[in-house]
Amino acid sequence: MKAFTSGPFTGRHAAAILVAFFGVVIAVNLYMAREAVSTFGGVVVENSYVASQQYNGWLHEAAREQALGWSAKVSRGADGRLVATLHGAPDGAALNGDAWHPLGRLPDRVLKFDRQPDGSFVSEQALPAGRWIIRLQAVAGTTRWRTELDLQ
């Protein structure tokens, strides 16, 4: 039997084909694994079993917070500081939060907000340009409300 060779198809040909095939598969797997690890931006927990046991509690707490009817909007001011407005929250509510870069390339930032006379909140420090995930927490008395927003 001849297959693209000038001589017969031998065991050396079969071995070369197998080595080339598995070499390509291994090279692609190594490349994809390296890319996955270097660009991972997901949330990591210390113990996934313990986190799974708390999941229903987190769902209940999220439903309670959603029932409050509060909402927030965040934008970037001209000076790079964040401007947040709360809707539905009581006048005495305080706001804080944190910002994290979705690809983990920049360190997380703690956000502290100062209430403005118009009722909005302005962060104490500017946030570098780029995409950020903003987690806000509003507290009014014993009531706590949280949300997560995407800021471009």
- Give every CB contact of residue 115 below 8 A, 6+ residues apart in sequence: 94, 95, 121
Look at residue 20 in the predicted model and tell me its pLDDT: 97
Q: Give the pTM.
A: 0.64
pLDDT under 50: residue ranges of the chain: none
CA distance 33 to 14: 29
Look at residue 42 in the predicted model and tell me its pLDDT: 65
Look at residue 51 in the predicted model and tell me its pLDDT: 86
Look at residue 101 in the predicted model and tell me its pLDDT: 84
Look at residue 3 in the predicted model and tell me its pLDDT: 55
The dotted CATH code for 69-151 is 2.60.40.3340
Burial bucket for residue 110 (CB in 10 Å: 0-12, 13-18, 19+): exposed
Of 105, 107, 102, the residue nearest 134 (C-alpha): 102
DSSP three-state, residue 100: strand
CA atoms 5, 11, 13, 18: torsion sign: positive
